[in-house]
Amino acid sequence: MPKTTQLKCFFGCVIDGPLHRFPKWEYPHTEKFEQWKSVLDSATQERGNSYIYNSIRICHRHFEDYFKSPSRRLTGNAIPTLNLTLPRSEQVMQPQQLKEVVPITSDTLQLEAESTTLPSALPQTQQIVQPSTAQFPVEEPSTSSFLQFEVDTESRALSNAAPKKRCSKQDSSSSAVNRLTLKLNKLRQKCRTQSKQIKAAMKCAMSKPFLASIEKLPATAQTLMKLQLKWKKTPRGRRYTIEEKIMALSILKQSPKAYKLLEKMFVLPSKRSLQKLLSAFTIRPGINKDILENLKKLVLRMPEEKKLVNLLFDEVSLAPGLIYNAFSNEIIGFEDDGTQKTGNIADHALVFMIKGIKSKTKQPICFTFVKSGTKK
């Protein structure tokens, strides 16, 4: 079956319009197919109904206007009735035109002079001269040279006009393929470069000079850098030391939002791990001796002017209630100053804190639960 772009009108029309396929030769379109088929020449009809249906088309200029719909389709009863003549190149091939061409020779002149039976001689000359259409190609008769030239020019115009659309589509598709190929090559080159950089960074991170340079950094920076070396492991397979958790906890207490962002960018313990760490420490009401011991160590490294502090106290109201702590096996919510506990339900908390005069040091050192607020 030929391609749709190669199909043309059977009558050789050179127009830009729709081509119409023959109806099916099967019932109930048999009668309509025979009417369409009757406009074809005998040679085409002998090629079979399947060939006619798949390969023969008729353009819209062979149908009456009342057979055409606004959508450039044909009505159900449309039959080709206009301009049903064959192309000129096919008309030249008809044998009846060659019957008129009778060569004049000396033999015919002698027959004309000697005998009066010219009617009996003419059929013989016609039998000799008349060739079949298969013996004489279209190009040989001299009478059709001008007509054949016109047909050739029309066919050349069609052959030159049709490939232009194909070329434009092919050019656009080829240019798109070229652009995508260039883009793909750039991305491949970028991927290769980045993979090389990653491999170089991995070698540098695990090299001894790099690990030795980490030891020269401050303690907090060392802890943060060593954390990043655990990125190869899955989040559930990472194990953190107490120093690493304390460093992460200090960031979390300063700004939970900042810690949430840093957790996406760097290798850091999860908030749940830090909360478990806090739950392991129990801070009871009263003066905390562990805090005082740490303050002693901190003061040893401070200058004299930064050792000056103010002692502040404040109170916070609480919602009265009792809570059972299963971990310590006790009920929380009564009055408690760290030395003794009463049966009264507490509704306030008193906090004592020191604040540096010339430094930004802030540290709570004691808290208690009381029933009512402090009287002035």
pLDDT at 22 over 80: yes
Mean of all residue pLDDT scores within the chain: 76
The stretches of the chain forming alpha helices (DSSP H) are: 30-37, 42-45, 49-55, 88-91, 95-98, 106-114, 118-129, 145-205, 208-214, 219-228, 242-254, 256-265, 271-279, 289-300
The band of 185, judged by pLDDT with boundaries at 50, 70 and 90, is: very high
CB atoms within 10 A of CB 243: 13
Q: Which two tokens stand for residue 82?
A: 């206009």
The pLDDT of residue 87 is 58
The pLDDT of residue 154 is 53
- Residue 163: phi and psi, rounded to 5, are -65, -15
Query: Quick check: bond before 28 cis, omega within 30?
Result: yes
Calculate the alpha carbon distances from 29 to 23, 34, 63, 318 in Å.
7, 9, 18, 95
DSSP code at position 143: G
pLDDT at 131 over 60: no
The band of 257, judged by pLDDT with boundaries at 50, 70 and 90, is: very high
Summary count for the chain: helices (H), strands (E) = 14, 10
Quick one: which of 65, 46, 58, 71 has its CA closest to 10? 58
The pLDDT of residue 301 is 86
The pLDDT of residue 94 is 43
Q: Which two tokens stand for residue 150?
A: 């016109």
∠ CA 315-253-295 to the nearest 5 degrees? 70
The band of 133, judged by pLDDT with boundaries at 50, 70 and 90, is: very low
**With pLDDT > 90 as the criterion, what percentage of the chain qualifies?**
5
The pLDDT of residue 98 is 43
Residue pair 86/33 in contact by the 8 Å Cβ criterion: no
pLDDT at 244 over 70: yes
- Residue 69: phi and psi, rounded to 5, are -100, 160
Residue 308's region, left for phi above 0, alpha for psi from -120 to 50, else beta, is beta
Q: Which two tokens stand for residue 285?
A: 């009401």
pLDDT at 322 over 50: yes
Give the pLDDT confidence of 292-301 residue by residue, as tens digits: 888 888 888 8
Mean pLDDT of 331-351: 88
The band of 148, judged by pLDDT with boundaries at 50, 70 and 90, is: low
The pLDDT of residue 360 is 83
Give the pLDDT confidence of 31-61 residue by residue, as tens digits: 888 988 888 888 888 888 889 888 888 988 8
The pLDDT of residue 240 is 86
Give the pLDDT confidence of 84-109 residue by residue, as tens digits: 876 544 444 444 444 444 455 445 44
The band of 187, judged by pLDDT with boundaries at 50, 70 and 90, is: very high
The pLDDT of residue 280 is 78
**Residue found under tokens 């559930």:** 236
- What is the pTM for the complete model shown? 0.36
The pLDDT of residue 101 is 46
